[in-house]
Amino acid sequence: MESFKLHLLRLARQGPVEVPGVPARAYTLLEPVEREGSGFYLLLEGELVIDLPEGRYLHLKKGEAARLTEPHRLLPVERAVLLEVG
C-alpha cells in the first residue's frame, strides 16, 4: 500500500471516514450514542460528554482523548468530530 495523507477533520465534517489499514474511523457526532464495549476516542473538534455508570462522566475538549472499558454513552455538546480507534 502506498503512503498517503488524510485530513481527517475536514473529511469527517463531510461524512464518516474509514482509515485504510487501521481499525479507526473519523465522524461527526450530532446525537447521543450508546456503546456497550470498550473504545478509544480522540476529539478532533467540539466538545463531548461521555456518560459512564454510577453517575460518573468525562468531559472532553478539542485534542483530548479517552480510553473506555465499560458501557458508556457519547453526548456531543452541539457537535463533536471524533476519531474512534478499535
**pLDDT score of 11 more than 70:** yes
Encoded amino acid at 56, one letter: R
What are residue 69's DSSP bridge partners?
A: none
What does CATH list as the number for 8-85? 2.60.120.10
CB proximity list for 56: less than 8 A, separation 6 or greater: none
- Which pLDDT belongs to residue 66? 98
What's the pTM?
0.88
- Give the pLDDT band of residue 2 (cuts 50, 70, 90): confident
**pLDDT score of 5 more than 70:** yes
